[in-house]
Amino acid sequence: MLIRPRRLRKNQKIRDLVRETTLTKNDLIMPIFVDENLKGNEKKEIQSMPNQYRFSIEGSVEEAKEIADLGIPGVILFGIPKHKDEVASSAYDKNGVIQKTIRCIKDELGDELLVIADVCLCEYTSHGHCGIVRDGKILNDETLKILSKIALSYAESGVDIVAPSDMMDGRVRAIRETLEKHGFDDVTIMSYAAKYASSFYGPFRDAAESAPKFGDRKSYQMDIGNAREAMKEIKLDIEEGADLILVKPALPYLDIIRMAKDRFDVPIGGYCVSGEYAMVEAGARNGWLNREGAIFETLLCIKRAGADFIITYWAKEVASLL
């Protein structure tokens, strides 16, 4: 007897019935760029990321309201401060751009929206690196103290989740110990445990003004050819107290998401990064891609690989279409 798998593909209804992976609003997290230099409801388009913006603090609150109204469960905040220096002091200022934004969003929305704050130094340092620099070297242990101060300041502002993205060794343990010491044992840590030294971050660095002023980040972000090392990094971060794990980028690293999903009993996320976004948008603008189809396929494939949640710049648009 001839086996005919095509019988289960003959029309859309039967394809929907047997689809193994589905995308929902609950899978999505929307990034918000908050620029301390903008006022009122001012926003500024990011040239390398069409239809994406930097918002003022006030504007970011309105954006968060729209996101919550769409049924998206969470946002992740990235700050662009007025002041940058060698030690990222604006990042842990209790009246810093992200600290104010957290308080404002929580005052307006409470538990209607999860607020996640990226924990890193790159947007706040004059040199653009993710750690303290001395004689051209990025110092690991000295950076942990700063990261812990940043995370604590976010917790004090009411954040739900802190997300260290720096890739310093031991930062999850340092942050967890600091949070618990100060009574914030219920603040969740989402670790960028497998963050690769990728070529897909360019548009984000434009958006967040976070490009390094010298060298690159290959001495702390992961080598693009390594998979077993990613499993080691994830295992260490879970042991140190991470509750959620993030793989970044997502689309070129679907194998890493799948390996992590198969090995670890914690939620695994994928960050569909700015370069992935820009590729699809550019292709669509040139008539080379079906834009909506490419967006859904990209996100569905990240979920199919094993992602429990996806950070994506398309979150608002996809949520409105689902």
Q: Could you give the domains of the chain?
A: 9-321 (3.20.20.70)
Element (H, E) at 191: strand 188-195
Q: What is the 3-state secondary structure (H, E, C) of 56-124?
A: CHHHHHHHHHHHHHCCCCEEEEEEECCCCECCCHHHHCCCCHHHHHHHHHHHHHHHHCEEEEEECCCCC
pLDDT range class, residue 1, cuts 50, 70, 90: confident
Does the pLDDT of residue 76 top 80, yes or no? yes
Determine the pLDDT at residue 203: 86
Determine the pLDDT at residue 269: 98
Most confident region among 48-52, 160-164, 197-201 by mean pLDDT: 160-164
Question: What is the distance between the alpha carbons of residues 16 and 300, in angstroms, rounded to a whole number?
Answer: 14
Higher pLDDT, 208 or 33: 33
Alpha helices in the chain (DSSP H): 12-18, 57-69, 97-109, 140-157, 171-181, 202-208, 228-240, 254-263, 274-285, 291-304, 315-321
Tell me how far CA of residue 318 lies from CA of 10, 163, 286, in angstroms: 26, 23, 21
- Summarize the confidence of residues 171-182 as an average pLDDT: 98
Question: What is the distance between the alpha carbons of residues 67 and 64, in angstroms, rounded to a whole number?
Answer: 5
Annotated binding site for 5-aminolevulinate: 205, 217, 274, 313
Neighbours of 289 (CB within 10 A): 17
- Summarize the confidence of residues 71-76 as an average pLDDT: 98
Annotated binding site: 120, 122, 130, 205, 217, 233, 274, 313
Express as a percent the part of the chain with pLDDT over 70. Answer: 98
- Summarize the confidence of residues 94-98 as an average pLDDT: 96
Express as a percent the part of the chain with pLDDT over 90. Answer: 85
Per-residue pLDDT tens over the stretch 112-154: 999 999 999 998 998 888 889 988 888 999 999 999 999 999 9
pLDDT range class, residue 208, cuts 50, 70, 90: low
Contact of 46 with 1, CB cutoff 8 Å: no
- Summarize the confidence of residues 282-307 as an average pLDDT: 97
Determine the pLDDT at residue 126: 87
Per-residue pLDDT tens over the stretch 18-28: 999 999 999 99
Does the pLDDT of residue 215 top 90, yes or no? no
Question: What is the distance between the alpha carbons of residues 89 and 93, in angstroms, rounded to a whole number?
Answer: 6
- Summarize the confidence of residues 175-179 as an average pLDDT: 98
Q: Would the CA dihedral through 152, 155, 159, 164 be positive or negative?
A: positive
pLDDT range class, residue 86, cuts 50, 70, 90: confident
Determine the pLDDT at residue 169: 95
Degrees, nearest 5: CA angle 291-42-101: 90
Q: Which residues are catalytic?
A: 195, 248
Q: Are strands 161-164 and 244-248 parallel, antiparallel or unpaired?
A: unpaired
Question: Please, what is the average pLDDT of the chain?
Answer: 94
pLDDT range class, residue 14, cuts 50, 70, 90: very high
